[in-house]
Amino acid sequence: MKPYFLLFAILLMGCHEKKNFHFNEDDLLLIPKPEQVVLNNGFFEFTAETKFIANDSLHPAIKLITDKFHRASGWDFSKNTVTDSDVKFNFVQLIVDENLPKEGYSFSSDSDKILISASDYRGFVYGLQTLRQLLPKEIESQKITTIDWVIPSVKINDAPQYEWRGLMLDVARHFFPKEYILKTIDRMAMLKINTFHFHLLDNEGWRIEIKKYPKLTEVGAWRVGQFDQHWNVRVTNHPNEKGTYGGFFTQEDIKEIVAYAAKYGITVVPEIEMPAHVMSAIAAYPELSCHKRPIAVPSGGVWPITDIYCAGQEETFSFLEDVLTEVIDLFPSKYVHIGGDEATHTEWKKCPKCKARMKTENLKNEHELQSYFIKRINTFLKSKNKQLIGWDEIIDGGLADDAVVMVWRGNNIVKKATEKGNRVILTSQGYIDQYQGLPDNEPLAIGGYLPVSRIYNEAFSEKELSIEERSRILGVQANLWAEYVPNEKHSEYMLFPRLLAMSEVFWKPEKERNWTDFAQRLQKSLARLEIMDINYAKSIYQTTGKVFDNGNNSVKISLQSETPNADIRYVLNQSDFSNAIPYTDTLRINETTQIQAAVFFDNKPHTAVYSNTITFHKAMGKPTSYNPTYHKSYSGQGNKTLTNIVRGTKDFHDKQWLAWLVDNATINIDLETPQDISKVVVGAMENQGSGIYFPTEIRLFTSEDGKKYTPKGKIERPYSVNGFAILHDFALEFPTEKTRFIKIEIKNLGSPPKGGDAWLFIDEILVF
């Protein structure tokens, strides 16, 4: 009996060791989600003997995934990567299929093999990046991990909707080293983003070595820090003060970055700004300006931008052609971005050489002079077989026929940009330097509000574009401007997880997107970002609230989170969450109430607490009139906005603000019956970076009959420099009196010292 027992034991052991893995749809954490995915029974398991089969030209693409295997498993696949093999199982093969669309691929896996087909190099890269995402997240580990390297049996057909799927990184406002750029390129590739827009210079820094003009980096790459000051209130530096903050990329650095990106199928497009955003160049070579005066590289924001290249002198164009020649030699991209935005023509209007140029070229105004400038650069680029891209201001004064317009001021620009056949790249809804959570719970940002859900559900919608306009879209892009992004970890925080949402928006047609499905994949994908040591934002776990005017002297509050099936709990008029109430439905509030809420994990608040105080007052819902009427661009909820008790946020696009441009505002409120009052509060916003300023004076009047008004007080507030977005309630108090009519006169700053026109923003008039 012993031999039989031994045989049984051996068989039992063999059964025990045989692996079996089961996958379901929820295990397919693919972002962007492929066009077609079929999950089959079974799996493929990698071993140290797995072979990779492809022609020599595709070996660099294979190495992208085998290098990750080497770090995470210790397996060295270099000898296993071959051009041909007669193996029947345990292999990955790349097959050229000319019938597949550009950048498209097919992917199939079963227990024996993985087959990836494509018609071009990028298609194979994307197929391998899909393999990367199908593998356990530990493939991103930097140390050897003991794990089963299996993927499900699947059949995938996939291709992108847009040709250009870009990320712009501003390295001028704050410098990021080469190593971070390389990491960013790897992360872009995982998400099938194919264009890296390299914003290499701006007023605050020149970041690329130009051998013919060494002072561009000796002087232009460095500035005085002023880190203790807000970006927009940093003072002008003296030209002789030595800059110590900065950095630049050598030409060897650039070559390494471009070559590294090429392995991932990513094109690096340089941006060399002109004629504005070039104070760093003028600091190095003052003779490039109209005024020729020495200036310093600024430490922070500059507006308006008047120190620009002189368009009237030939020396400017000789300089730019020299610079572009060196740049073109470094970047094989067919495109060169030349900026072209936000040029204030103050110096051109005064400059004798610019005036002479306008006369010689029969140019009517400075806008046409700028068009001349851009077209001349375009002619030079064409001579080098390059195509010009510029921000959408390049359409002002006339547009070169073959220039590509990068739209940043809204889709309303698309019609004008495409009417002569020019192609466009949409970026206006991709500004990921904006807040992604409630501003009070986030690091300082430039403003705005662009959470993951808004990106996924609203960004780059083509619904308002005509068929012809849609046909001219080259692609879409996310922009990370770095005024408020001082280091690599902060950059990661702004990029992730929003870049995951962007990638799916770039890849999939609008009608095929499903937020619920994406949000579930996103939440599970965050563990991969953890292993990649990405400092991603946790803002998707925050609770936000929406307050609705319900009429009948009440409001409704809804609470939500971007996290699927979030456990939201709240408390009223207290801060102790030990007895927090689970949120199940919209709340109705009919008296002054403070609500606090949070997403709970393990019976504890997981992130920052949402807090809002709903203040009921005597003007709630009362008739209100305005003289002059508010600006059509910021009309809130109409006339009732300032008495609906719904307060505005620092996101001035939240439709709870009324605004006036330059004008003063007079606001009249009818309480409908005489009431005892002793205090009136005016809610206002200041965000000087966006041109919004606090009122300089507020006057209050009351009346019993609506005809004869009595002054009750005033507040004066002189202009002062402020770099932050601030909400403030201006209170006017007086002895209690019975009155029916209230008039408030609010004075707009009008013309800020830094130039431009001032906005006045008001969200509520509270009466007590």
Q: Which residues are catalytic?
A: 342
d(CA 447, CA 654): 12
Side-chain-facing half-sphere of 512: CA atoms under 13 Å: 13
- DSSP alpha helices (H): ranges in 285-365? 314-330, 346-350, 352-360
CA distances from 201 to 169, 198, 206, 261, 546 (A): 11, 9, 4, 20, 41
Q: Are strands 81-82 and 51-53 parallel, antiparallel or unpaired?
A: parallel
Distance between alpha carbon 100 and the CA centroid of its chain, in Å? Answer: 32
Query: 523 and 564 in contact (C-beta within 8 Å)?
Result: yes
User: What is the secondary structure of 433-445 as a DSSP string?
Assistant: TSBSS-GGGS---
Residue (of 648, 441, 683, 658) closest to 547 by Cα position: 648
Angle, alpha carbons 434-438-440 (nearest 5°) = 100
Task: Say how far residue 161 (Cα) sits from the centre of its chain.
Answer: 20
Sign of CA dihedral 315, 318, 322, 324: positive
Q: Which two tokens stand for residue 144?
A: 């050897």
Buried (b) or exposed (e) across 690-728, using 16+ Cβ within 10 A? bbbbbbbebbbbbbeeeeebeebeeeebeeeebbbbebe
Distances (CA, A) of 719 to 302, 423, 749, 750, 753: 18, 44, 8, 11, 9
Residue 101 DSSP label: P
Encoded tokens for 80? 């296993």
Query: Which of 741, 687, 755, 746 has its CA nearest to residue 709?
Result: 741
| Cross-strand partners of 37 | 156
Do residues 307 and 369 lie in contact, with contact meaning Cβ atoms separated by under 8 Å?
A: no
**Cα separation of the two ends of the chain:** 97
Q: What is d(CA 347, CA 363) in angstroms, rounded to the nearest whole number?
A: 16
Query: Side-chain half-sphere of 731: how many Cα atoms within 13 Å?
Result: 6
CA distance 149 to 470: 43
The H or E element that residue 676 is part of is strand 665-686
Look up residue 631 and give its DSSP letter: P
d(CA 759, CA 304): 16
How many C-alpha atoms does 730 have within 13 Å on its Cβ side? 24
The full DSSP string for 511-532 is GG--HHHHHHHHHHHHHHHHHT
Instruction: Collapse the DSSP code of 618 into the 3-class scheme (helix H, G, I; strand E, B; otherwise coil) and give the result.
Output: coil
CA 532 – CA 522 distance, rounded (Å): 15
CB neighbourhood size of 130 (10 A)? 24
Torsion sign (Cα): 134, 137, 140, 145: negative
Report d(CA 465, CA 260) in Å as an integer. 37
